[in-house]
Structure 1
Amino acid sequence: MVDPNCSKPIIYDTAQSKWCNINHPELLETNNGLLPVASSGGLLCFRSFSGEFFISNPVSGSHRKLPHVDIEDTVHAIAMSSSSLSSYKLILVHGDPSSLTVKTFDSTLDHWTVSMLHRKTKFQQLALPESGDEYGDETLYYLSKAGDVVATDMQRSPSKQFSSVVITEKNGNEVLYFLSQSGRVVGCNLSEGFWYEYPKILPPFFEHSLDLVECRGEMLVVVMSELLESASLRVWRFSEEKGLWVQVGAIPPSMSHEFYGKKADINCVGHGNLIMVCVSSVSCGFNCEVLCNLEENSWVELPECFISGKPKEFVSAFSFEPRLEACV
């Protein structure tokens, strides 16, 4: 769990349904300004303010600094994937839509590789008619019923600013997904070298906050929206057969009612059948964590975590499986 200050690590153990402490990793004690940005298996990836990357096993305390990589333009996604306890990849996507660049650090090769992605139109006929179709250029503004001007490119928690997931498809292709600033899901087929956009899930004036997760080997989108003086939190997957987004889960209205009017941001992480949703609002001082079990269609608000008698607030979470033997 990540708090606004990225201080002493706290873990929510889903197997025991309780909060746990973890020894302060040596990495965080000796390096100031590190922020967790990705995870896979038993490893976490941290990024420094200067753009350096560190891989850490938070259980064993082992860590390493990756070789420096130059990135001179906008970073869109940072993701990790691992095929075993002894190998992992860190994947960065950056650049403008005309020439997306992928830089990958493969631990088995111990160096960075570079590849380019070309654009491919995959769902254009389903997309909403909007001006500025290139992602990142379509920030929309609308007037809410309360008279507030709201932008669709909501600022994310720094730890989730480059939120993305990597999925290995049945045909073996590795696909990375991330969110554009306008709220579109962008898919990057790393195996075949192209990228594409999905249609929007909801009209822009309905979307309030959204995030990507990986669950059960597929990419899902969690969306919090407000309509008719109520708030909803729903989970969507894209059906290739139907060519549209299909709802696969929704929080009970009695639980989501407290989110209405908070202008909250959601930051989510998936693992197996579980989705952790961190709901936080700086302007309202609101914070809570909700755990969804998609298989059982159950939603539970987690009890507050108290440190030294004070409730702890979390803005995001990362999933990892504690393994002493996971190599960095």
Structure 2
Amino acid sequence: MFRHFIDQVQDLVDRHGFPPPPPPVTTVPPLHDRWCFLNLENDLSKDGCYDLIMKTKKSKLRETPSKKTQKDQKHTENPNSNESMDEIWKHFPEDLYESVIARLPVATFFRFRSVCQNWNSLLHSNNFTLQCTQPSQPWFYTITHENVNSGAMYDPVSKKWHHPIVPKIPTKMIILPVASAGGLLCFLDIGHRSFYVCNPLTSSFKQLPARSAKIWSRVSVGMILNENSTNYKIIWVATNGEYEIYDSIVNSWTHMESIPDCIGLPLSLNYGLQILSANGLMYFLRLDPDGIVSFDMDKRVWNQYLVPVPPHSRDHSLAECDGRMMLVGLVTKNAATCVSIWELQKMTLLWKEVDRMPNVMCLEFYGKHVKLSCLGNKGLIMLSIESKMMNRLVTYEISKKEWLKVPGCVPPHKRKQMWIACGTTFHPSLTAIA
């Protein structure tokens, strides 16, 4: 093909001759330096066009710098870039600095406290704590069977477990979380003698004064925040009807008169459950007879409502969502076991089933004797379903009717999953003080 093309060009030149050369231009080289015909019969290395091509290629290679050269050039252009950035952070306004950190998720506080002493001291700054964003979802504080002396906290938003540093407890007895209010947790030792209040985020810790009543049997405990205040009250109720109220303002217990005879004594309470607090009232789930006992903390008035539990159900817990009274429990029929949710009908004082755990989750419990424990009782609850060979955790959001599996609680640098013994919910807060 090339030879045919050259023959055609040679034929045109023989007929018409070469075209006249263009006028010389100083900025453009002559035509014979820019164009040539390849001599395909001779060696290319001896052809003048070969020399021209090689010269042009070498000149382009010299003009295009390598990537390494470009990077080196950038570094040489800004030799003091690191020093300038250090100067910017050195003169960064302190108040703006706190505002940026205060908008981080609560879970990051565990990490940034270990950065330096200045960052750790921010937790004690009133300006910083007031700017901190409070999470909309509560967290879960739990105690495990393997390590009863330290807690584990679960964040349902990030779906991660946190293992905080527990403050030094002035007792060798095991303490368990029995109630919560806001960002504070209430603990009671297993001897039922001493109460403690703690903020698990800031390690703010306080031992409450001794109770005036010398009752060492199991008691049911509730906690409530004062309206528009950080102060709180704690109530304990015994089976014989005695009860006391602690007020954080005066830092003392007040022994009250016994529960009225109309309530019916002794009180058969589930002491493993947290008392439900809603709208200034405390609600207790009692047995024999089945029903609900309420107590108005301000008016000091007791009431009782006889509400039969649903048939074939057990392991009940009270919950509340948007003013609705809910009941959580296990329903067992033959070999099948399932978790059900009921709502109290105010007109009839009967429980109506409104939701049930999906069958896919319930299949794991088929033919097994399981025990249900409910952690928390408002909006979002955690269900601990335990048998001899397993411990499954599931969260249930009442408003959305959403069931979600919880990842296993595995402490740092360990592989074995720990089993949840008990726990409660709380709202993480840096401003709550025990």
TM-score in terms of structure 1 length: 0.77
In structure 2, the CA distance between the partners of 1:24 and 1:93, relative to structure 1 (3 Å rule), is same
The equivalent position to 2:329 in structure 1, one of 196, 208, 223, is 223
Q: Give the aligned partner of residue 165 of structure 1.
A: 276
Distance 1:180 1:15, change over 3 A: same
Q: Take 1:17 and 1:40, find their aligned partners in 2: how far apart are those partners?
A: 22
| CA 183–286 in structure 1, closer or farther in 2 if over 3 Å, else same | farther
Aligned residues of 2:293 and 2:304 also touching (Cα < 8 A): yes
Structure possessing the higher radius of gyration over alpha carbons = 2
- Is the 2:341–2:356 contact (alpha carbons within 8 Å) kept by the matching residues of 1? yes
* Correspondence 1:79 to 2:222: yes
Paired-residue identity, %: 25
* CA apart distance, 1:49: 3.1
How far off its partner does 1:3 sit? 1.0
Deviation at 1:66, TM superposition (A): 0.9
Question: 1:323: Cα distance to partner?
Answer: 1.4
Which structure shows the bigger proportion of residues in strand conformation? 1
Change (3 A) 1:103 1:218: farther
Aligned partners of 2:287 and 2:351: how far apart in 1?
Answer: 19
User: Kindly tell me: are residues 195 and 76 of structure 1, through their superposed partners in 2, closer, same or farther at Cα, counting changes over 3 Å?
Assistant: farther
Contact 1:164–1:177 (8 Å) recurs in 2? yes
CA deviation map 1:192-231 (0-9, x unaligned):
522314322223xx12322223433444221112103211
Question: In 2, distance between residues paired with 1:179 and 1:76?
Answer: 13
For residue 262 of structure 1, what is the aligned residue in structure 2?
368
> How many residues get paired?
284
Q: Residue 90 of structure 1 is aligned with which of 227, 230, 234?
A: 234
Q: 1:92 to 1:271 in 2, by over 3 A?
A: closer
* 1:24–1:110 CA distance, 2 compared to 1 (3 A): closer
Q: Deviations over 1:255-294 (max 9, x none)?
A: 122223432221213365312111112xx23201001122
Query: Gaps (5+ residues) in structure 2?
Result: 1-141
Alpha carbons 1:76, 1:94 under 8 Å: kept: yes
Q: 1 or 2, which has the higher helix percentage? A: 2
- The 8 Å contact of residues 357 and 403 in structure 2, kept in 1 or not, is answered as yes
Instruction: Give the match for residue 305 of structure 1.
Output: 409
Matches within 5 A, 1:1-328: 1-4=142-145, 5-27=147-169, 31-50=172-191, 51-69=193-211, 70-72=213-215, 74-83=217-226, 84=228, 86-96=230-240, 100-115=241-256, 116-120=258-262, 161-168=272-279, 174-180=280-286, 182=288, 184-190=290-296, 191-203=299-311, 206-270=312-376, 272-281=378-387, 284-307=388-411, 308-328=414-434
Contact 1:292–1:298 under 8 Å retained in 2:
yes
Is residue 278–residue 317 contact of structure 1 (8 Å, CA) maintained in 2? no
Deviation of 1:17 after TM superposition, in Å, equals 1.9
Contact 1:177 1:185 in 2 (8 A): no
Unaligned runs of 5+ in 1: 122-132, 138-152, 169-173
CA RMSD of aligned residues (A): 2.7
**What are the superposed Cα offsets for residues 107-158 of structure 1, whole Å, 9 maximum, x if unpaired?**
122221233332547xxxxxxxxxxx96667xxxxxxxxxxxxxxx9xx7xx
Contact 1:135/1:180 (8 A) holds in 2 = no
The one-letter amino acid of 1:255's match is: M
